[in-house]
Structure 1
Amino acid sequence: MRLFVALDLSPAQREALALLRGSLPGVQWVPSENYHLTLRFIGEITDRYVMEEIDLALSRLSWKPFNVSFHGADLREGMTADSLMIGIERSEALTTLQTQVESVLRRAGCAPAKRRFQPSVTLGHLATTQRADAARWVQRHNLFRSEPMPVHHVTLFESLRGYDQHVYVARAEYAWHPDMPLLPEDE
């Protein structure tokens, strides 16, 4: 299983972000159902014991609910492709939660994260030859702001390879409060 821990977006946030798609030709736009804010990429896990340790570790997370707000557009340049991103307003609560996720996963036996935490949501991917057009897209959408989204749980996702893109399946939710309903066991 290829796993990651993320904040799943509310339908209102998905809709607001989806309205930004399609405004630049040649972009492979991410389907709105795949929008998420990655807190920690875990990677390929094949050992059932390690999977159980990850589940136990994430079930011990503890934080107070907080809000995240989306703002500003960005271009993340890559070697073979670039990504159009929407930024997340940094907050102490978000940073603390991400740090806690990193810490419990390390204790569960996961290797340290390879990348520094950069809170954002990926909207699309494009060729590096389109950087000038992408820069204009970023300028047009740089004032984007969203309504705050409450954070009441984190989600453990599995990334499955689809025909032409990844499909993300929620495997478990971990609530800030023990009385919050979680995903049904039958999934």
Structure 2
Amino acid sequence: MIRTFIALPLEASIQTRLSELGQTVPGARCVPAEQIHLTIRFIGEVEGTLFRTIKEALAQVSAAPICLSIRGVGHFPPRGNPRVLWAGVEPAAAVIGLRQHINRVLTTIGIPPEERKYHPHVTIARLHDTPLRRVTDFLTGNSLLQSSAFTIDAFALFSSTLSAKGAVHRLEALYPLSGSA
């Protein structure tokens, strides 16, 4: 079985900046820079034949490059004990549109859309018993976070292996965004 997801790779400078930001929260396990991405769709465990079918089907996606910027921070879950710190992206509508297109393609090969609401974000740290005051301080101190605009010109299929130190992602295929919106 192959644990699979689709994501937007980010520029190295954005990855580094967000990873360093995650390191500012005591008790947080920050995401290493090379692992930072914007998840479009988590698929989960699939067997090898379906994985190859997914890989081929995603080549049918035609979409224009997306101009984004990182904006703001937050945490999941929105209520209760925070477990994940994230950075937001703007405009979210462009990412949601690409996700909808990818979901339509995946549906044609028998993979139904995810049921839960999608909120485009970049995970920067995972929390375990981090005092709420530290999380609140992080959110307050970084509420105005904003990067310069950057262009995403491809999306990717990744496999993911879970380990004691967290997930390790491997790029399986890269799909250019060169079509029209």
Common topology (TM > 0.5): yes
> Which whole-Å CA distance do the structure 1 matches of 2:13 and 2:160 have between them?
23
Q: Per-residue displacement from partner, 1:114-144 (whole Å, max 9, x unpaired)?
A: 3221111111111356223201111101111
Counterpart for residue 5 of structure 1: 6
Counterpart for residue 76 of structure 1: 76
Gaps of 5+ in 1: 179-187
SS of 1:125's partner is strand
1:177 shift after superposition: 3.3
Residue 109 to residue 80, structure 1, CA distance change in 2 (3 Å): farther
> Which whole-Å CA distance do the structure 2 matches of 1:129 and 1:121 have between them?
19
1:157 shift after superposition: 0.4
- Letter of the structure 1 residue corresponding to residue 108 of structure 2: R
- Cα RMSD for the two superposed structures: 1.9
Q: Per-residue displacement from partner, 1:80-135 (whole Å, max 9, x unpaired)?
A: 76111101113432221111011111112113213221111111111356223201
8 Å CA contact 1:13–1:149 kept in 2: the answer is no
Percent identity for Structure 1 against Structure 2: 28
- Which portions of structure 1, spanning 4 or more consecutive aligned residues, are displaced by more than 3 angstroms? 78-81
SS of 2:147's partner is coil
8 Å CA contact 1:76–1:82 kept in 2: the answer is yes
Counterpart for residue 89 of structure 2: 88
Counterpart for residue 107 of structure 1: 108
1:10 shift after superposition: 0.8
TM-score, with structure 1 as normaliser: 0.87
> Which whole-Å CA distance do the structure 1 matches of 2:80 and 2:41 have between them?
22
8 Å CA contact 1:75–1:135 kept in 2: the answer is no
SS of 1:69's partner is strand
Counterpart for residue 34 of structure 1: 35
Instruction: Report matched runs for 1:100-179 at 5 Å.
Output: 100-128=101-129, 130-177=131-178
> Which whole-Å CA distance do the structure 1 matches of 2:81 and 2:25 have between them?
19
Counterpart for residue 51 of structure 1: 51
1:21 shift after superposition: 2.7
1:47 shift after superposition: 4.2
> Which whole-Å CA distance do the structure 2 matches of 1:161 and 1:21 have between them?
20
